[in-house]
Amino acid sequence: MKYQKNIIEKCIFENKLLIKKKLSIQTFSNVSIKINKNHFTIKPSGMRPEDIEIKKCPIVKISDGKKIVGSYNPSTDTPTHQVLYKKYPQLTSIAHTHSTYATAWAQSGKSIPIYGTTHADYWKSEIPVTNFISKKKLNNYEVNTGHLIIETLRKKKLNPNNCPGVIVSGHGAFTWGKNHTDAVKMSELMEFIAELAYFTEQIKVKNKIPQYICKKHYERKFGKKSYYGQKK
């Protein structure tokens, strides 16, 4: 296939943003971007974004997760991204982070409660946490992490459109979106929401926000009669 330099450059830039926005340190995170309906590119395994050479970047098939281009090994989390792209073809970018507050919630094994309209502007409900992966599924760990995310959304009756990210028990956060920049944007938003929820619980909640207010805030941005932002 034709080498997609512009998409790979965007992918490297988005990976750099995670560091710049303090959503990751060292090589803990990864962003992938879909090139077309059949392929995506992702940060190479164990590399800092600033050290990546564009022509060596991996391109991976969505159908089976196999690398077809690039001398670098793709991120070890590539199978998780592949499973999500295959299940949800509307996704264009996926980010995986170990940001401080989102990961703290993941390590606690607790979903991030919806305490206010800041949260409700982008997530229709709580930010769900998955179960721990079972011991018998460890041999195919990254693939089964993807299936665990899918199963969590199914059980909660959510989808990637109204739930742009989840936290994986004991691990970290996965976010996604419909364009090249959405995944990192949602990672930043999730971290902010996770921090607010943490401090809200320290203060102690007196009256939890009514669901109808949360619904109003979500729908004014994403509902059928949304009116947030500028008219095109």
Residue 11's nearest CA partner among 34, 28, 27, 39 is 34
Could you confirm whether 182 is annotated as catalytic? no
Q: In CATH, what class is 5-222?
A: alpha beta
Helices (H), 111-166: 117-120, 141-155
Alpha-carbon torsion angle 70, 78, 65, 37, nearest 10: -90
End-to-end C-alpha distance for the chain, whole angstroms: 35
Domain boundaries, the chain: 5-222
Report which DSSP code applies to 114.
-
| From 121, 122, 198, 212, active-site residue | 121
| From 101, 115, 212, 228, active-site residue | 228
Residue-by-residue pLDDT tens, the chain, 232 positions: 555 788 989 999 999 999 999 998 888 899 999 999 999 999 999 988 888 888 888 999 999 999 888 889 999 999 999 999 999 999 999 999 999 999 999 999 999 999 999 999 999 899 999 999 888 898 899 999 999 999 999 999 999 999 999 999 999 999 999 989 999 999 999 999 999 999 999 997 777 777 777 777 778 777 777 767 776 6
What lies within 8 Å, CB to CB, of 100 at 6+ separation is 191, 195
Could you confirm whether 121 is annotated as catalytic? yes
